[in-house]
Structure 1
Amino acid sequence: MGESSRNVILIGYGEVGRAFASRIELSDTALRCVDPVAAGQHSARLVEATLPGQILPGTLVLSAVPSSAAPAVADELASRSDEFLYIDLTSSPQELMRACATKFDGSQTAFVDGAIMGSVDLSGADAPIILSGSEAGRAATELTAVGLHAVALANSQPGDACGLKLLRTLMTKGIEALAVECFAAADRMGLSAEIRANLTDINARPFPDLLDAMVRTHVVHAPRRQHEVAAALEQAGSLGLRAPVTEAVLDAYRRTAHRIDTEKPKPPTQVEQAVRWLAEDLAKVPA
């Protein structure tokens, strides 16, 4: 094979780094992996301890380090006079990504915020990547060229991609925690297969539409639904199980029911109306 048509530096050799390195190596790419903790020979792949002294013009630099290390990596790369495209793939809060982006103001380096939306544990290098920032479109093209799956957010700023991922986390990780409690109770009741079959109706319509319906009707039916949640908690307790996430759910229903009783809001016709009314309670600072 002749000289590679592109250069990629991958910072971080954890689960994400290993999966992406294996995919990138299948393309016409000269790949360098950097990780001070995992430095050394890994089968046929060498992981270096430090970045090269010079980053070649046009190089694609990917960072797959923990969020806590994102500022330090950005500081080091921003101090370079080299011209390259830098994509931060850490799962960081929106404001942290925006702070990292400002480090590159006035430099030749283009900064792009990237968020891996799927599970690398399940999907490997096929996990989708969302990109944001003024160079997100260019970054999506570059990542696609090395075998990864990337989409740019239109008219976005750095931090929008990671902000979107952490919004998704509010939903998916909460569902994960509730699934633990539900499946634990189902196992003790001998109804594991039955509950899985029973949940299939959730797929009958798009999930966001279901969530919209739930939130909109929460303003109307929270008083009734709180009794159902309380009964579910009582059932779990009778099985010798704690359900701390569901306890928090019950508390949320009680708060909404109390507000409905005292404020008597009009039933919302749009989910946006419901969200704004419900958010007033979330914005209050506990005494």
Structure 2
Amino acid sequence: DLNSCAPSTKQKNAALINEAGGRYVDVAVMATITPKYHQTAMLVAGDHAEAAIDLMLALDMKPVHVPGPVGRASTIKMIRSVLVKGIEALTAECFSAASIAGVADEVAASLDASQTRDGWKDQAAYNMERMTTHGIRRAAEMREVAITLADLNIAGRMTAGTIDWQDEFGNLGLSLLDTEGLEPRLSAIRGALDAKKIS
């Protein structure tokens, strides 16, 4: 099943196919089909993954086995899409407004100047610290961004979500300056969020 859908959807499909005597395999297509076509990166998971991979290799495909049950390959794709599609939507919101305001070149140049060369784990760890340290102020700034977008008749859908995230992390009262690495920082954030729910 190469469909882009939730892991739970694939698990339901697998139960039906397997009950009927079929062999269900969870496949996640991880890039656009062109230019590699049948050699596009694909993740394969489920009880019958290895048998499917043998067939795919015989067809000169490039499958990658993801150990685990049906749904694991789709989980990777779905969660990755939060960032990939989210960045696309943020780009649309940002540059639609920039174009209308006549500042697209200047915004692009500023972004180019601040482009990081860090990997995503390092970048994400950095982002977590920035949000917990400056989230309240950044949420306030983003509320002004929302006003700016509204004045330009641009729907600030992504901006609304950004306000929520920045506000939530900023109000944790958490400093991550002495906590190194993505997982330790995320763990500290989860702990602070859980503590806030209990209180």
> TM-score category by the smaller chain?
0.7 to 0.9
User: 1:228 — aligned with what?
Assistant: 141
Contact 1:132 1:161 in 2 (8 A): yes
2 CA distance for matches of 1:140 and 1:197?
A: 45
User: 2:90 — aligned with what?
Assistant: 178
Contact 2:129 2:175 in 1 (8 A): no
Unpaired runs of 5+ residues, structure 2, are: none
Q: Percent identity?
A: 23
Structure 1 residue 129 corresponds to structure 2 residue 52: no
Output one character per residue of 1:237-267: Cα deviation in whole Å (capped at 9) or x when no partner.
Answer: 343433122022112222333332xxxx343
Higher helix share: 2
Structure 1 residue 187 corresponds to structure 2 residue 187: no
Contact 1:115 1:161 in 2 (8 A): yes
1 CA distance for matches of 2:29 and 2:106?
A: 33
- The correspondence for 1:255, drawn from 140, 163, 168, is 168
CA RMSD of aligned residues (A): 3.1
Aligned AA for 2:91? A
Output one character per residue of 1:212-243: Cα deviation in whole Å (capped at 9) or x when no partner.
Answer: 22124322221232233234334333434331
Q: Which moved more, 1:140-149 or 1:173-182?
A: 140-149
2 CA distance for matches of 1:121 and 1:186?
A: 30
User: 2:78 — aligned with what?
Assistant: 166
Contact 2:124 2:182 in 1 (8 A): no
Alignment of 1:61-140 (within 5 A): 88-103=1-16, 104=18, 107=21, 109-120=22-33, 124-140=37-53
2 CA distance for matches of 1:216 and 1:228?
A: 17
Alignment of 1:13-32 (within 5 A): none
The offset of 1:123, in angstroms, is 5.9
Contact 1:219 1:274 in 2 (8 A): no
The offset of 1:160, in angstroms, is 0.3
Question: Per the alignment, in what secondary structure is the counterpart of residue 5 of structure 2?
Answer: coil
Aligned AA for 1:165? K
Shift in alpha-carbon separation, 1:128–1:190, aligned structure 2, 3 A: same
Aligned AA for 1:185? A
Contact 2:131 2:170 in 1 (8 A): no
Contact 1:216 1:271 in 2 (8 A): no
2 CA distance for matches of 1:195 and 1:170?
A: 24
User: 1:23 — aligned with what?
Assistant: none
2 CA distance for matches of 1:165 and 1:118?
A: 10
Return the TM-score normalized by structure 1. Answer: 0.56
The offset of 1:182, in angstroms, is 0.4
Question: Per the alignment, in what secondary structure is the counterpart of residue 119 of structure 1?
Answer: coil
User: 1:272 — aligned with what?
Assistant: 183
Shift in alpha-carbon separation, 1:122–1:177, aligned structure 2, 3 A: farther
Aligned AA for 1:131? V
Higher strand share: 1
The offset of 1:137, in angstroms, is 3.4
Count of aligned pairs = 191
2 CA distance for matches of 1:133 and 1:158?
A: 4
Question: Per the alignment, in what secondary structure is the counterpart of residue 122 of structure 2?
Answer: helix
Unpaired runs of 5+ residues, structure 1, are: 1-87
| Larger RCO (alpha carbons 8 Å, 6+ apart) | 2
Contact 1:216 1:275 in 2 (8 A): no
Output one character per residue of 1:157-207: Cα deviation in whole Å (capped at 9) or x when no partner.
Answer: 111001111111222222221111101012123333443344345351223
